[in-house]
Chains A and B, each alone.
Chain A
C-alpha cells in the first residue's frame, strides 16, 4: 500500500508521466469528441474502434506512399468517414440495428485491415516533435501539452470546433433536437435521419484523425492490434462525461492517464499488477456510474431509430 502512495507521488511529479498521459488521452479525445456529437444526435455508435483502426491504417498507407504526415492524417480522417458511412447508411437509412452494425463493423474492419496489412506492409515512423516556445517550459505539464509531435496540436482545434458546432450553430441546434425528440424535429421540418448521418460522419472524421494521430504521432508502427480498445474507452468517456463535451474530455484525461501508467510506472521502477491497471478505467467508470448515474441525463432518443409515423 505504501508502494501505491509513493507510486502516485512519483507519477505526479514526473514529466514523462504527464507526457505519456497526454499522448494517450489525445487519441481518446479525438474519438470521444466525434462520438459525443454522434450520441447527441441519438446514435450509440459502437464502431468507433473500427473508425480509429481504419484511420490508423489509411494514415499508414498514406505516409508509406507519400512520406508526408499531413497526407497520412487526411487519409486517416477520410477512412474514418468511410467506416462511418457504413454505420450511418445502415442505421439511419436502412433501419438496421445500429448495435449489430457497429459490432460487425469492428470485426469487418479488423479483418480487412489485417488482410491488407499483411499484403501491403506499410512502413512508417512518428512525426517529429514541435515545441511551442515558452509554453513548453511550464514545469511538469509544459512538455505534455506543448512539446508533442505536431498532429497532437490538432486536438486544440477539434474540441472547441465541435463545441461551437453543436452549441452555437443552427446545425448543432438541429442535431441536439434530433437526439432529444426526433418527432418534434421532424414536424418542424428537419430531416432527422440526415442530421444523424451527418453527425456520424463527423464522428468518423474525428476518430479517423485520431487513428492517424495514434499511428503517426504516438506509436509509429502499424499493427492490426494498434487500437487495443481505445475506441471502447472513448465511448465510455462520453457516457462517463454525462454527454457533455467537457465531461467527455475529462473522462479521456482520466482514463488516458490511468492507462498510460502502464508505460510510465515500470520506467520509474515499479512492479505492476498489469491486469489491475488495465481494468482500472472500466472499474473506475463502473464505480462512477454507480454513484452518479441517476444524476446524468442522456439524450432522450439515444439508440432509438427514427421512422416517420412511428412513436
Chain B
C-alpha cells in the first residue's frame, strides 16, 4: 500500500509495478532462467544459515563470508593450471574454504574467548569487503593485470570459458547447471539434519546446551562444525556467483556481493529455518531482484524494489509470529508441570 502511495506520487498505477515485477522475473520468455541464476546463491546462503541456526548460533556475516569465498575462488581461477572442469571444481572448493575460514574466525572467537558470534560475524563483514577491495587493487592478488589503470577499472581477470559453469537451456530458459547442484545440496543437508547422528547432536546443542553437555556432546565441536559449514555455504555461494555468469560476467568486481549475503540470511529467517522452504523463498526474493530490472523500463525507480522487498518481509513476519504465539499457548495449557 505504501509502495502504492509512492508510486502514485510519481503518477503510475501500482498494478503496473506488480506486472513489471512478474514479467521481469518469470513471465516474459527466458526470464525465469535468470531468476534461477539468482536463486542458486541465495539458497546456498540460506541453507548454510539454517545449519548454524540449528546449532543455536546467530551468524549474520554471510555477506562477508560470501565475498571472501568469491575472492578465494577468483584467486584459484587465476593461479591453478589444468583442464577446465578440474579447475572449476577447485574454484568451487576454494570458495568453500574461503567462506569457512571467515566464519571460522568468528566461531573460534566464540568458543575460545566467549565473544558472541552475532557481533564478530557482523564486524567481519566490513573487514571482508575492505580486504577484498585491497585485493582488487593489487595484480599479485586479484587484479586483472591487463586492467586499464587510468579507467579505475578495478576488476579481476575474467574466467576463461572452460572454467565457467556450463549452462543449459530448458524450455527456452538458460541457467547454470549449478542449479541442480544446489538442489542436491539442499536435499542432502535437509536429510542430514533430520536423519543422521550429526544432525541429532547438532539439534540437541541448539535446543539445550546443558543437556548436550550432560550427555557428552561437545558444544564447541558441534558449534564449530556448524559455523564452518555455514560459512562454507556462503563461500560456495560466492564461488557459484563467480562461475555462474549471472553476476558481473565472470569477474570479481567491487561490490560483488550485491547484498546476496544479507538477502540469503533473510531467506532463511523468512523460511522459518526449514530446509524445505528454502528454495521457494529464495526463488521469490530472486524474482524480486530480476523483476526490478523490468521496473526501470516502466519508468519507476529501482529503489522501489527495495521498498517492496522490505514491506514484503515485514508482512511475512506476521503469520509466523501469530502461529508461534498460538503454539506456545497450547504448550502452556498442556504442559502442567511446575518448574
Contacts and interface: CB of A to CB of B under 8 A. Distances in A.
Q: Do chains A and B touch in the complex (CB under 8 A)?
A: yes
Interface of A: 44, 86, 90, 94-97, 99-101, 103-105, 107-112, 114-116, 118-119, 229, 232, 236, 239, 273-276, 278-279, 281-283, 285-286, 289-291, 293-294, 307, 309-310
Contact of A307 (B262, B270, B314, B328): B328
A85 B301 CA distance: 26
A86 B115 CA distance: 30
Given A96-B317, A279-B126, A289-B119, 15 more contacts: A90-B314, A95-B324, A96-B314, A99-B58, A104-B310, A104-B314, A108-B309, A108-B314, A275-B131, A276-B130, A285-B123, A286-B109, A286-B120, A286-B123, A307-B328
A36 B248 CA distance: 40
27 contacts: A44-B118, A86-B314, A95-B325, A100-B269, A100-B313, A100-B317, A101-B317, A103-B266, A104-B310, A104-B313, A107-B262, A107-B306, A107-B309, A111-B303, A114-B303, A115-B6, A116-B6, A236-B123, A274-B130, A281-B126, A282-B124, A282-B127, A283-B123, A285-B119, A289-B113, A289-B115, A291-B113
B113 A293 contact: yes
Nearest to A289: B115
A96 B324 CA distance: 10
A110 B314 contact: no
B277 interface: no
A97 B122 CA distance: 18
Most buried by A among B6, B116, B130, B266: B130
B311 A108 contact: yes
Interface of B: 6, 9-10, 58, 60, 109, 113-116, 118-120, 122-124, 126-127, 130-131, 133-134, 262, 265-266, 269-270, 301, 303-307, 309-311, 313-314, 317-318, 321, 324-325, 328-329, 332
Given A119-B10, A293-B115, A307-B328, A108 B317 contact: no
A115 B301 contact: yes
Contacts of B332: 309-310
A239 B123 CA distance: 12
A293 B134 contact: no
Q: Which 9 A-B pairs rank lowest in CB-CB distance, beginning with the nearest? A: A108-B310, A111-B306, A275-B130, A111-B307, A282-B123, A114-B303, A96-B317, A115-B303, A275-B134
A93 to B, nearest CB: 10
Nearest to B58: A99
A180 B123 CA distance: 26
A125 to B, nearest CB: 25
B126 A239 contact: no
B245 to A, nearest CB: 26
Nearest to B269: A100
B152 to A, nearest CB: 14
Contacts of A94: 317-318, 321
A105 B313 CA distance: 10
A300 to B, nearest CB: 14
Nearest to B312: A104
A16 B122 CA distance: 31
A227 to B, nearest CB: 14
A285 B127 CA distance: 11
Contacts of B133: 274-275
Nearest to B122: A232
Given A90-B317, A94-B321, A279-B126, A286 B115 contact: yes
A113 to B, nearest CB: 8
A279 B310 contact: no
A307 B325 contact: yes
Contacts of B116: 293
A243 to B, nearest CB: 13
A274 to B, nearest CB: 8
A304 to B, nearest CB: 12
Nearest to A309: B332
Most buried by B among A109, A110, A236, A275: A275
A290 B113 CA distance: 5
